[in-house]
Amino acid sequence: MDTFKKTESEIRPALTSLSDEEQMFREAVRDFSTSEIAPLVSQMDRSQELDAGLLPQLFELGLMGIEIPEEFGGAGSSFFTSVLVVEEMSRTDPSVATLVDVQNTLVNNALGRWGSDELKAHYFPKLASEWVGAYALSEAGSGSDAFSLRCRATRDGDAWVLEGQKLWITNGSEASMFVVFATVDPDAGYKGITAFIVDRDSEGFSVGKKEDKLGIRASSTTEVILNAVRVPDGNVLGEVGKGYKVAIETLNEGRIGIGAQMVGTAQGALDHTLRYVKEREQFGRPIVDFQGVQFQLADAATELEASRLLVYNAARLKDASEDFLVPAAMAKLHSSRMAQKVTSLCIDLYGGYGFTTEYPVEKFYRDSKIGTIYEGTTNMQLQTIARVLLG
């Protein structure tokens, strides 16, 4: 039995605010996820590896270059469309959605906003057609304290030499280019941070250990090692010493993508559970007939829809060039908490079966945990919101 076969939720999200193009993207991703991704989910989770046949299809559908301008081979669409794609894909497999999310909301966004015309002309066509990108900020001693970097960049003529190590780099196994953050002056603190674009085949660059994770196991998370890697001066992203702005502003956008992941993850678990509660019988009748079960499902659907609207609002504000700092933090905060709560409930409603790998809800539960950690922990989101509230 293919326990990951998609089912339609009877709690359907409001679609009245979607344009024809956005609705088209949503439906295309739903069809693709159902037919191509769903049959592979279990095996990819066990092998901790993305199926090699999926990547070409993701590029062919235009899902790896959603905001890349059409002149460079991209879809030329909006940030909100990227969010819809990530949400919809997460309903089937948050691991594949993570790869697409990082490509669009972090790598492509950073290049689009901070890259020179030359960098865009060189990298955008590759990112739209065949290259996966990765975002290399974190290090062993810099998690929430993102700017306590030890990775060094030293000028050498018309180039920079990078030395150091990066950890927990999503897409590390698949990526052909990396946005790497290093300090050009440790004494300058965050004002020494600079962002560089580094090709995987650069001499001295290597991808190290792959992490064995609790959830999103088919999404690669790796170490990156920089051993005297020479990077042309033209590959500086933004300005020297302004990497902190690249990182902060890109991560603010990325948090909306994480919110979309969590909404899709919870929706996927709820989809399966709404079907199962009609099939599972206790005391001679389906458990869906019990008011206690009905009320729990109603609560879950309400919390899920609240998270969805927070995510959509933040994405719309970003596209409108309005201030979205607090809405993005709220969207990630609420959706990551909600996803853990909803997926946990789904396991409870499955009973003992929910605790086994034969059914899909345990995977959604495992996949939900990362939402409170990456691209800013729960405490960091609370700090952001409180700081603005308190002026």
Of 243, 264, 294, the position where a domain reaches its end is 243
Nearest to 247 by CA among 152, 375, 104, 118: 375
Residues 302, 235 within the same domain: no
Phi, psi (rounded to 5 degrees) for 78: -105, 165
Residue 319 sits in the same domain as residue 191: no
- Alpha carbon 58 to its chain's center: 15
Share the mean pLDDT of the chain.
94
Q: What is the CATH number of the domain that holds 224?
A: 2.40.110.10
Which value, to the nearest 10 degrees, does the dihedral of the CA atoms of residues 347, 350, 355, 359 take? -100
Query: Do 146 and 258 fall into the same domain?
Result: no
171 in a structural domain:
yes
The answer as to whether 326 is a domain residue is yes
The torsion angles phi and psi of 147, rounded to 5 degrees, stand at -105, 15
Mean pLDDT confidence for 367-384: 96
Which of 22, 67, 223, 375 is flagged as catalytic?
A: 375
DSSP state for residue 12 in the 8-state scheme: P
Q: Are residues 383 and 254 in the same domain?
A: yes
**Domain limits at 28?**
20-132
Residue 9 lies in a domain: no
* Together in a domain, 123 and 138: no
| 316 and 359 inside one domain | yes
Q: Active site includes 130? A: no
Q: Are residues 123 and 174 in the same domain?
A: no
Closest CA to 213 of 91, 368, 328, 72: 368
The answer to whether residue 161 is domain-embedded is yes
Determine which of 186-190, 231-235, 345-349 has the lowest per-residue pLDDT on average: 186-190
**Residue 318 domain flag:** yes
Within a domain: 49: yes
Across the range 300-320, mean pLDDT stands at: 97
**Residue 274, pLDDT above cutoff 50:** yes
For residues 266 and 384, state if they share a domain: yes
CA 300 to chain centre: 22
Task: Say if residue 381's pLDDT is above 80.
Answer: yes
- Summarize pLDDT for 32-49 with one digit per residue, the tens: 999 999 999 999 999 999
Mean pLDDT lowest among 16-25, 109-118, 295-304, 347-356: 16-25
Q: Which two tokens stand for residue 367?
A: 């996949």
Domain count, the chain: 3
Q: Is 169 in the same domain as 262?
A: no
Residues 319-345 have pLDDT tens digits of 999 999 999 999 999 999 999 999 999
Say yes or no to pLDDT of 7 above 60: no
Query: Is residue 249 situated within a structural domain?
Result: yes
Residue whose token pair is 């865009």? 120
- Which residue in 141, 142, 156, 231 sits closest to 194, CA to CA? 231
pTM to 2 decimal places = 0.94
Region 208-215 average pLDDT? 98
Query: Does residue 143 sit in the same domain as residue 277?
Result: no
Distance CA 61, CA 49 (A): 21
Domain boundary among 218, 243, 268: 243
Q: Are 49 and 281 in contact (CB under 8 A)?
A: no
Residues 302 and 362 in one domain: yes
Looking at 132, 160, 182, the residue that finishes a domain is 132
Look up the CATH number of the domain holding residue 348. Answer: 1.20.140.10
Q: Average of pLDDT values for 189-207?
A: 97
Stretch among 104-118, 138-152, 200-214 having the lowest mean pLDDT: 138-152
- Say if residues 336 and 258 touch (Cβ distance below 8 Å): yes
Same domain, 250 and 177: no
* Structural domain includes residue 28: yes
Q: Where are the beta strands (DSSP E) in the chain?
A: 132-136, 152-156, 159-170, 175-183, 193-199, 205-210, 221-232, 236-237, 281-282, 285-286
Pairing of strands 221-232, 236-237: unpaired
